[in-house]
Amino acid sequence: MSAMRFLPVNRQALLVELADLPQTLVLLQSLQAAPIAGVQELVPAARTILVYFAPQQITAAALVKAIAGRELGGSVQRSEVLVQIPVRYEGEDLAEVAQMLGISPEEVVRRHTGSEWAVAFTGFAPGFAYLSGGDPIFNVPRRATPRTKVPAGAVALAGTFSAVYPQASPGGWQIIGVTDAAMWDVERELPALLQPGYRVQFVDAAKTIAAGADQQPDSKPNTAKVQAVKAQSAIQIEEAVEEGGAALRVQSTGLLTLFQDLGRHGQAGQGVSASGAMDQGALKTANRLVGNPSQLPALETVGGGLALQSVGDNVVAVTGAAAPLWLRTADGQRWSVPCHAPVALADGDVLQIDQPISGARCYVAVRGGYRVAPVLGSASTDTLAHVGPPALQRGQLLQVQLVQGAQAVVGATQLPPQGLPAAGAEVVLDVELGPRTDWFTPEAVALLAAQRWQVTPQSNRVGLRLAGDTPLARSITSELPSEGTALGAIQVPASGQPVLFLADHPLTGGYPVIGCVAPHHLDLAGQIPVGAWIRFNPIRFFEELVP
């Protein structure tokens, strides 16, 4: 049995590093066939498996021992599913790839279509599958400068892998063709066309024009069906309000307002991360204050400017950032109302949220809950993956579900959270070092905690982009194969300026993670506004886990 390395991530996750992709796939198959009690999710990558576990069910030491006892010999059983993907080989990097490999563009196409590929793992974006097992000649570097936008359907190569971009996104892979097959479609029973283990055959569309579109009858989204569902939903909302149901009408959206709940867990196999509310404690509190189950969807709004008009009578609560709240009645009266308290709205009343004094995001729950359709089991909107309900629009009507007879009473006013930072203020985040702390110089590891880092305007739900006076230097400068990244990971790109991954971070990443924000400070991290300063406080130093 070959040795495995066990690297700490945080108290709820660890990273298993193996020698190569075949070993990784063998271990993955073993862990899936005979699960370990307490393991919640597995995120495989090129040479690693990110293992999420419940510490109340199994300790990290016990988990390491259980995994280390698995055999890595043998091979992975091939899937019976074969997906054929018609490709127009007209990619803008085709000639350059041919030149790098010392063959003609026609030979690149012949070799790309002449081998059967397999889905090794997923990541980067929903429906993005890393395909391995192609012709041995394919080992091409990523582009020196990634493109700011790669078109949806681009068929590409990087290293020994091939892939199809499911949606338009930045990317540094070498593009050799394009396909019309939809890699991702939420209208399908399995939204991702390519699932881990599936076999894949690329087909030259120029030679199979007649058969191309018909080979994947379920691969394209049914646009007419989607529009019909949206139209029917709008009609149902209007009808419900006319029959006496309550609603909230969006008068203004602020900078960005989304539906969020506790996230869509368990979708790593389709390349989908959990997403969910940036401040989950605030979401739960808002729901409790109006008598809802704590996991119901609420509105998450960043900055100020959200204004909601009550259609019928409603009870709402606003939590999270410390922001002034105003209530304006239909006859023009206006007064302030408290945060972290239930607020009764009569028909025509308007609730407005001003710019937060401290913190960044407010959460608005309504008694009964919003009637919003879940996507993959969650109403959360993932801004990176474009999964979930769209952002709120001005004039939109938000239907409120009827209050059930046994629903809890509204909660008492609560004290607002202490220590939320304002722009320009300093906040301390506890950090657990790992899994790639040893890729950095000792001076860089010390500098992570010694230096202040300012949150830049390029920050969003994907992550906080940080700027410090001195960048973090690496001791290992080689390229890191893609591996799973956890919520709160502090990833360090080539610039040496860290990015703190938040709710909508990609499932996998290709830059080393020097440490992770401790789980008890993740809600606080989600409330840090642009312009604030962060100091990292290491509470656990890096040390490999030994079986």
Is the domain of 257 the same as that of 385? yes
- Tens digits of per-residue pLDDT, 322-332? 999 999 999 99
Contact 388, 267 (CB under 8 A): no
* 255 and 377 assigned to the same domain: yes
Going by DSSP bridges, is the β-strand pair 426-433/533-540 parallel, antiparallel, or unpaired?
parallel
Give the mean model confidence (pLDDT) for residues 305-311. 98
Q: Which domain holds residue 379?
A: 244-399
Residues near 131 by beta carbon (within 8 Å), at least 6 away in sequence: 117, 118, 119, 120, 161, 162, 163, 194, 200
Measured in degrees and rounded to the nearest 5, phi and psi for residue 64 equal: -60, -45
Residues 118 and 12 in one domain: no
Other Cβ atoms closer than 10 A to 105: 17
3-state class (DSSP) for residue 309: strand
Give me 515's structure tokens: 């440490």
In this prediction, residue 527 carries a pLDDT of 98
Are both 264 and 381 inside the same structural domain?
A: yes
CA 312-381-38 angle, to 5 degrees, is 115
Residue 223 in any domain: the answer is: no
| Mean pLDDT calculated for residue range 241-259 | 88
How far is the C-alpha of 355 from the C-alpha of 497, rounded, in Å?
29
pTM comes to 0.89
CATH of residue 56:
3.30.1360.40
What is the pLDDT at residue 399?
A: 97
Q: Are residues 9 and 112 in the same domain?
A: no
Last residue within a domain, chosen from 399, 415, 446: 399
Boundary of a domain, candidates 68, 93, 111 = 68
Cis peptide before 416 (omega within 30 of 0): no
Mean pLDDT value across residues 325-341: 95
Residue 483 burial (CB < 10 Å; 0-12/13-18/19+)?
buried
Q: Return the higher-pLDDT residue of 67 and 146.
A: 67
Strands of 329-482, DSSP E: 334-337, 342-345, 350-353, 358-366, 397-399, 426-433, 453-455, 463-467
Which residue has 């100020």 as its token pair?
Answer: 304
Per-residue pLDDT tens for 149-158? 999 999 999 9
The pLDDT score that the predictor gives to residue 116 is 96
Residue 45 and residue 142: Cα distance in Å, rounded?
A: 17
Are residue 89 and residue 62 in the same domain, yes or no?
no
pLDDT one-digit tens code per residue, 94-141 = 999 999 999 999 999 999 999 999 999 998 889 999 999 999 999 999
Average the pLDDT over 186-213 and give the result.
Answer: 84
* pLDDT computed for residue 211 by the predictor: 45
How many folded domains does the chain comprise?
Answer: 4
Tokens of 518: 């401790």
Note whether residue 15 is domain-resident.
yes
Distance between CA atoms of residues 232 and 239, nearest Å: 11
253 and 361 within one domain: yes
Is the pLDDT score of 1 beyond 60? Answer: no
What was the pLDDT predicted at 270? Answer: 85
The confidence score (pLDDT) of residue 25 equals 93
Per-residue model confidence (pLDDT) at position 132: 95
Measured between alpha carbons, how far is 314 from 292 in angstroms, rounded to an integer? 13
In a domain, residue 290? The reply is yes
- Residue 388 and residue 381 in contact, taking contact as beta carbons nearer than 8 Å: yes
490 and 349 within one domain: no
CB 164 within 8 A of CB 155: yes
Provide the pLDDT confidence category of residue 227 given band limits of 50, 70 and 90.
very low
Strands 199-204 and 82-87: parallel
DSSP string, 486-507: -TTEEE--TTS--EEE-TT--S
In a domain, 366, yes or no: yes
Tell me: do 49 and 100 sit in the same domain: no
What is residue 428's predicted lDDT score, i.e. its pLDDT? 98
Higher pLDDT, 419 or 260: 260
Q: In this structure, is residue 210 part of a structural domain? A: yes
19-32 b/e with 16+ CB inside 10 Å = b?
A: eebbbbbbbbbbbe
- Residues 96 and 59 occupy one common structural domain: no
Report the alpha-carbon distance of residue 260 to residue 502 in Å, rounded: 14
520 Rama class: left (phi>0) / alpha (psi -120 to 50) / beta = alpha
pLDDT of residue 244: 59
- Band of pLDDT at residue 209, cut at 50, 70 and 90: low
**pLDDT surpassing 70 at residue 199:** yes
Per-residue model confidence (pLDDT) at position 228: 38
**Which residues neighbour 2 within 8 Å (Cβ) at sequence distance 6 or greater?**
18, 19, 23, 72
Give the span between the Cα atoms of 277 and 233, in whole angstroms.
Answer: 24
The predicted structure's pLDDT at residue 405: 65
Please report the pLDDT score of residue 243 as a whole number.
57
Segment (H or E) for 150: strand 147-150
| Contact predicate 175/82, CB 8 Å | no
Q: Are residues 146 and 99 in the same domain?
A: yes
**Spatial separation of the C-alpha atoms in residues 127 and 125, rounded to whole Å:** 6
* pLDDT, tens digit, 9 for 90 and up, residues 355-381: 999 999 999 999 999 999 999 999 999
Q: 54 and 129: one domain?
A: no
Mean pLDDT of the residues in the chain:
91
CATH classification at residue 186: 2.40.100.10
Q: Which two tokens stand for residue 540?
A: 């656990």
From CA 128, how far away is CA 297, in angstroms rounded?
27
Mean pLDDT of 370-396: 96
